[in-house]
Amino acid sequence: MVSRDIDIDIEFYSRDREPRRKDKDLFETVEEVFDKATVLAVIELMRRRCIKELKGVISSGKEARVYWAKGFDNEDIAVKIYLTSTAEFRKGILKYIRGDPRYEWITSLHTHKLMAVWARKEYSNLKQMYDAGVRVPKPLCVYRNILVMEFIGENGVRAPLLKELNDAKAIDSNMAERFFIDIIDNIYKIYWNAKLVHGDLSEYNVMVYRDLLYIIDVSQAVKIDHPNAHEFLYRDIQNIVRFFSNEIGIKTPRPEELFNGIVKGIREIT
Ligand SMILES: Nc1ncnc2c1ncn2[C@@H]1O[C@H](COP(=O)(O)OP(=O)(O)OP(=O)(O)O)[C@@H](O)[C@H]1O
Ligand SMILES: [Mg+2]
């Protein structure tokens, strides 16, 4: 899953100084995809001893790339870098931003600023969930358009998504039942403890590592008092129920039962 190495010499870049043009190794390897501001942001995170070395790309989506990297204790970390904001992305995020007084002002920002706010929003959602006991990657640091978090996987190989695990026929019905209860429990904790709704929950945003589920991709999560929060919550539950009942084939409660149970704060619903 790692496409190539990006070796950035940390001893060199972590020194307290401005990078010069002749720091050309870094610029040459990364400049195809990173603009200069992003390169400088990576260097700043190295100076802050958050990232030691960027190793390689794990995933390149439309707006963000996720990298496998090393921290200063030589531990694996995941670095999510927001790179572009297409017109489509702007339109998409409006849906989550409108009605959320925390973020309404950002719609007028230019790309760099917008990406930075979006990365910070993902970091703070992640932190709120992590502190509430939801199983998400531990957020480590954020700077400009870059979010650094715990790596879910081993030796630079990321853990599979729930979707991939099912495609590989690696989920039996006992596991499926356990996973289903666990996801509903995590949705409950996101709602009641973190006071948030994920808003893009599906088998594509859940990873499975050492037999445990990790919920990822939380940038679009909204507060429970957002005007569309309950619509998003219902959709999240529907996606999960559809996956477990239609694709894996286990018996589940109906989405409306689960939704009512969660909103009313009834824990024993599954
Ligand atoms: N903490 C992590 N540890 C390991 N891999 C991760 C981590 N976070 C994300 N990934 C990998 O990167 C992929 C993309 O991450 P994420 O879903 O957060 O971004 P995205 O913007 O939705 O990208 P996409 O458009 O590809 O879905 C994930 O599907 C997963 O494979
Ligand atoms: Mg995703």
The CATH number of domain 159-264 is 4.10.93.10: no
> At 219, is the secondary structure helix, strand, or coil?
coil
What dihedral angle (degrees, nearest 10) is formed by the CA atoms of 98, 102, 104, 105? -170
Residue among 66, 130, 219 to mutate when testing ligand 1 (max atoms within 8 A of CB): 66
Residue among 1, 81, 145, 216 to mutate when testing ligand 1 (max atoms within 8 A of CB): 216
Domain ranges (residues) in the chain: 10-84+111-154, 159-264
- How many other β-carbons are positioned within 10 Å of the β-carbon of residue 61? 11
- Hey, which residues are catalytic here? 200, 217
Specify which residues 214 forms β-bridges with.
Answer: 207
152 DSSP assignment: S
Question: How far is residue 32's CA from residue 259's CA, in Å, rounded to a whole number?
Answer: 45
What local confidence, expressed as pLDDT, does residue 33 receive? 72
Asked if residue 81 lies in contact with residue 146, where contact means CB atoms within 8 angstroms, the answer is yes
For residue range 174-219, list pLDDT tens digits in order: 999 999 999 999 999 999 999 999 999 999 999 999 999 999 999 9
Q: What band does 149 get if pLDDT is binned at 50, 70 and 90? A: very high
Question: How far is residue 200's CA from residue 188's CA, in Å, rounded to a whole number?
Answer: 15
The CATH number of domain 10-84+111-154 is 3.30.200.20: yes
Provide the pairing of β-strand 157-158 with 153-154: antiparallel
